[in-house]
């Protein structure tokens, strides 16, 4: 007696993780890979894709956030595609690597990096395309 492809498909589906487990795993993977970039993902969109309720997705996100506090992340480094200088990405903004010290209006010292757009010899070109 041979099994029909549809039967095989059904039995495979049984051993797959439930949609909520899949989302949880995806959120967790994304959490580590992108350091919280999943926050930018709309829970509604994710829920729709996986057939869950947005409330479930939101509570999963909060659960993960609570369980795995934000890691101190190493800055993403790279090179400016216009002048080939070393740059450090702060979010989506290219900055120069040296950490500078500045004083705020209320006289608190804070560390910051200068935007690479301030020092890039091709800054106009770079700025336009970003
Ligand atoms: Zn540059």
> In the structure, how many helices (H) and strands (E) does the chain have?
6, 4
Q: What is the pLDDT of residues 2-38, one digit of tens each?
A: 555 555 444 444 556 677 787 777 777 766 554 444 5
> Cα 96 vs. chain centroid, distance in angstroms?
22
Q: Residue 99, SS3? A: strand
pTM for the model: 0.42
State in Å: Cα 91 to ligand 1 middle: 17
Percent of the chain, pLDDT > 70?
71
State in Å: Cα 82 to ligand 1 middle: 5
State in Å: Cα 1 to ligand 1 middle: 68
Side by side, the strands of the sheet bearing 76-79 are 76-79, 86-90, 93-103, 109-115
What residue ranges do the domains of the chain occupy?
16-67, 76-129
Partners of 115 in the beta sheet?
95
d(CA 42, CA 35): 16
Partners of 84 in the beta sheet?
none
Q: Do β-strands 86-90 and 109-115 pair in parallel, antiparallel, or remain unpaired?
A: unpaired
């Amino acid at each position: 007696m041979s099994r029909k492809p549809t039967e095989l498909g059904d039995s495979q589906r049984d051993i797959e993780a439930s949609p909520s487990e899949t989302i949880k795993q995806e959120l967790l993977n994304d959490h580590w890979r992108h350091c919280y970039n999943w926050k930018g993902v709309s829970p509604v969109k994710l829920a729709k894709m996986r057939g869950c309720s947005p409330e479930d997705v939101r509570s999963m996100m909060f659960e993960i956030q609570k369980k795995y506090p934000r890691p101190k992340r190493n800055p993403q480094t790279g090179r400016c595609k216009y002048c080939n200088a070393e740059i450090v990405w702060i979010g989506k903004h290219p900055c120069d690597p040296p950490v500078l010290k500045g004083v705020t209006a209320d006289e608190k010292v804070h560390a910051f990096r200068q935007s690479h757009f301030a020092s890039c010899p091709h800054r106009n070109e770079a700025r336009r395309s970003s």
